[in-house]
Amino acid sequence: MESSAFEYIIKQKNEGGVIRNKVFALIGYVFVFVTLALVIVNLSAPLLHIPFLLLDLVFCAMVAFISWRFLCVEFEIVIAGGELTLTKLFGKSIRRRMTSIPINSISEIGIYDDAAYLKLCASSLQKDYIAVSSMSAPTIYYALFDEDKNRCVLYFELDERGMKRLKQENPSAFRRGNIR
């Protein structure tokens, strides 16, 4: 086995719910700016309109700068020391660890296709972790494991080197014909 760590970053694509959330955020930023501008114009003296409108613009820009990063999501998969660690990155600066799985505790790893979908639907899964760029990505894998007495599934994307590393650490989890 290799002693070095393997890292893989998955950037979430702008589609579906991600686009919807970004559009709603932009509409919200404009709404807050316009609402504050109307309040400022109606409540302040005419000489103070420009300074207060500039403050309104600066405030809205700060809100957008701080909140936009939560709409730009990436996932980091790290394989090191017999563990698979999944971290969610917001705007490349805020990290939230989603889970850490001992690789030898993964009971099955396979390609997420129609047969896997039916099998996973029939299973009694309590928790799922999703670390994919898009659910329509060309190759999505799944991993079944137990966490805190709950049956869990991880949907993820990984390149060939990452899958090779997983196979080295837990060959029994790979079923014949499951991985290309």
Query: How does DSSP classify residue 103?
Result: G
| pLDDT above 90 as % of the chain | 49
Q: What is the pLDDT of residues 113-142, one digit of tens each?
A: 888 888 888 888 899 999 999 888 888 999
* Six token digits for residue 178: 């499951």
Neighbours of 145 (CB within 10 A): 23
Q: Which sign does the torsion angle of CA 89, 93, 97, 101 carry?
A: positive
Parallel, antiparallel, or unpaired: how do β-strands 141-147 and 127-131 relate?
unpaired
For residue 176, what pLDDT band results from cuts at 50, 70 and 90?
low
pTM for the full predicted model: 0.81
Q: What is the pLDDT of residues 57-87, one digit of tens each?
A: 999 999 999 999 999 999 999 999 889 999 9
Query: How does DSSP classify residue 170?
Result: -
For residue 2, what pLDDT band results from cuts at 50, 70 and 90?
very low
Q: Are 101 and 70 in contact (CB under 8 A)?
A: no
> Which segments of 69-157 does DSSP mark as H helices, in order?
114-122
